């Protein structure tokens, strides 16, 4: 091992020495309570380096999210919207690259190698630079919090977020690792123990900032984006300072972007069906599962509904942030076992 790599590993170990730790849902390394959030052991040093070294630019766009909330979707939309005058829809980079490649996670950019070279590389990227992050708002680098860069945050109803996380972690878990059971994972989720959790403080950090500085932080919910994508695409264009002209609207540019970034289209692209991404070599196909709202009805039992509803109420009450539930969905969960709900739901 090169001496700089060894130095980094030692620095990483030093960072975690005094931190509270918990087992991860799906990885052999633990989660550490670092700066009040559950940081995966493998990312802790990268987050620390990102905080210390990243230099924001006023024109930056940061797409922030709690994991399994629609990150890949909003990355694709933000990329397509801010570049809508640069690329044609027929020959678009999203057709040949995964959104995580076009909009890299900032914290992982500092994951290894020569830091000065990484800083230089980031400094030289074409503007506006678009990055992703799972880091909670208080832990973003000072230059990002203080610059005028735009932040788009996406969150998701915790019921669906839990199901998406649980199914995903089960798929990407190394074979050698014993899976956490659904009950265990649910208990951990309700206690906020999940990568980058607690989910409530993650959401509230960005929510409060979006209330205080709506021109800087745009707060989106996966469910709202699903319900009226075209309205939100227009809003994102205005927020990023690249609104669509009437002519573009008439010519179907917004509809084209929505189609290009849709779950059905993205899931079927060769570039998203095969190959791996990231240091953990995650198969890209695992980022696309159902892409629906309300799938929680197929997994939750009535006691789970009761428990998570209480946590949501307790953690979010008074904040102004809430998630609506359909009466029909709650009724189904009360009267039918999970295996019989699917046929009635659609
Ligand atoms: S990650 O690993 O944090 O980047 O995952 P993330 O992208 O946040 O969340 C994955 C869920 O988003 C769904 N997905 C989409 N929904 C709508 N439109 C598009 N284009 C899209 N692409 C991915 C994906 O299927 C995961 O949700 P579930 O409920 O598990 O299907």
pLDDT digits (tens, 9 = 90+) for 32-70: 999 999 999 988 988 999 999 999 999 999 999 999 999
Distance CA 51, CA 138 (A): 11
pLDDT at 8 over 60: no
Q: Give the pLDDT score at 330.
A: 75
Distance CA 27, CA 140 (A): 24
pLDDT at 12 over 70: no
pLDDT at 107 over 90: no
Q: Give the pLDDT score at 156.
A: 98
For 62, 96, 141, the CA distances from 284, given in Å and listed in that order, are 22, 13, 28
**Helix (H/G/I), strand (E/B), else coil: 339:** helix
Q: Which residue has the higher pLDDT, 47 or 281?
A: 47
Nearest CA to ligand 1 atom 12: 70
Residues 6+ apart with CB under 8 A from 227: none
Q: Which residue has the higher pLDDT, 218 or 16?
A: 218
Q: Give the pLDDT score at 176.
A: 85
pLDDT at 265 over 90: yes
Q: Give the pLDDT score at 327.
A: 73
pLDDT at 281 over 50: yes
Q: Give the pLDDT score at 189.
A: 98
Task: Report the pLDDT averaged over residues 83-101.
Answer: 96
pLDDT at 346 over 50: no
Nearest CA to ligand 1 atom 18: 263
Range of lowest pLDDT (2-6, 92-96, 136-140, 250-254): 2-6
Q: Give the pLDDT score at 237.
A: 98
134 noted as active-site residue: yes
Could you give the percent of the chain with pLDDT greater than 70?
93
Task: Report the pLDDT averaged over residues 138-164.
Answer: 96
Task: Report the pLDDT averaged over residues 167-174.
Answer: 90
From 25, 164, 195, give the residue whose CB has the most ligand 1 atoms within 8 Å, as the site to mutate: 164
Q: From the candidates 100, 134, 202, 232, which is the catalytic residue?
A: 134
Distance CA 43, CA 27 (A): 12
Other beta carbons within 10 angstroms of residue 170's beta carbon come to 14
From 152, 157, 288, give the residue whose CB has the most ligand 1 atoms within 8 Å, as the site to mutate: 288
Task: Please give the mean pLDDT across all residues of the chain.
Answer: 91
Q: Give the pLDDT score at 178.
A: 83
Q: First and final CA of the chain: distance in angstroms?
A: 55
Residues 6+ apart with CB under 8 A from 291: 73, 263, 264, 267
Task: Report the pLDDT averaged over residues 337-345.
Answer: 66
| 253, burial (CB in 10 Å: exposed 0-12, middle 13-18, buried 19+) | buried
Q: Is 99 in the pocket of ligand 1 (CB under 6 A)?
A: no
Distance CA 153, CA 42 (A): 24
**Helix (H/G/I), strand (E/B), else coil: 154:** strand
Q: Model's pTM, two decimal places?
A: 0.93
Query: Taking the CA of residue 231 as centre, how many other CA atoms within 13 Å lie in the half-sphere pointing to its CB?
Result: 7
Other beta carbons within 10 angstroms of residue 319's beta carbon come to 13
**Rg of the chain (C-alpha set):** 20
Under the banding of pLDDT at 50, 70 and 90, the label for residue 324 is: confident
Q: In sequence order, what DSSP letters do the residues of 267-279 get, joined into one string?
A: HHSHHHHS-EETT
Range of lowest pLDDT (125-129, 155-159, 227-231, 241-245): 125-129
Under the banding of pLDDT at 50, 70 and 90, the label for residue 338 is: confident
Q: Is 69 in the pocket of ligand 1 (CB under 6 A)?
A: yes
**CATH dotted code for 33-298:** 3.40.50.300
pLDDT at 27 over 80: yes
Q: Give the pLDDT score at 180.
A: 85
Under the banding of pLDDT at 50, 70 and 90, the label for residue 9 is: low
Q: Is 287 in the pocket of ligand 1 (CB under 6 A)?
A: yes
> Could you read off the pLDDT of 234-262 as tens digits, one per residue?
999 999 999 999 999 999 999 999 999 99
């Amino acid at each position: 091992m090169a001496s700089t790599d060894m130095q980094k590993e030692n620095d990483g170990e030093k960072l975690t020495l005094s931190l509270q730790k918990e087992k991860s849902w799906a990885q052999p390394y633990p989660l550490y309570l670092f700066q009040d959030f559950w940081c995966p052991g493998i990312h802790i040093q990268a987050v620390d380096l990102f905080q210390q070294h990243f230099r924001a630019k006023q024109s930056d766009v940061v797409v922030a999210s709690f994991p399994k909330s629609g990150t890949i979707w909003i990355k694709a939309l933000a990329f397509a919207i801010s570049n809508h005058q640069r690329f044609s829809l027929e020959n678009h980079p999203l057709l040949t690259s995964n959104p995580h490649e076009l909009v890299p996670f900032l914290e992982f950019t500092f994951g290894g190698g020569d830091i000065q070279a990484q800083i230089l590389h980031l400094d030289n990227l074409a503007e506006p630079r678009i990055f992703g992050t799972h880091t909670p708002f208080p832990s973003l680098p000072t230059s990002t919090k203080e610059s005028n860069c735009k932040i788009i945050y996406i969150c998701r109803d915790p019921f669906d977020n839990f199901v998406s996380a649980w199914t995903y972690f089960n798929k990407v878990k190394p074979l050698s690792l014993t899976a956490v059971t659904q009950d265990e994972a649910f208990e951990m989720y309700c206690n906020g123990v999940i990568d980058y959790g607690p989910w409530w403080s993650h959401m509230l950090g960005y929510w409060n900032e979006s209330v205080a500085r709506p021109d800087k932080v745009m707060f989106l919910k996966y469910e709202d984006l699903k319900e009226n994508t075209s309205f939100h695409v227009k809003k994102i264009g205005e927020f990023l300072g690249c609104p669509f002209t009437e002519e573009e609207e008439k010519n179907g540019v917004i509809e084209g972007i929505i189609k290009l970034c849709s779950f059905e289209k993205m899931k079927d692209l060769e570039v998203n069906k095969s190959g791996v991404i990231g240091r953990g070599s995650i198969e890209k196909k695992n980022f696309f599962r159902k892409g629906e709202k309300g799938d929680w009805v197929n997994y939750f039992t009535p006691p789970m509904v009761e428990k998570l509803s209480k946590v949501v109420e307790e953690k979010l009450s008074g904040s102004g942030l809430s998630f609506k539930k359909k009466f029909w969905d709650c009724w189904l969960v009360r009267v039918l076992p999970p295996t019989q709900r699917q046929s009635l739901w659609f």
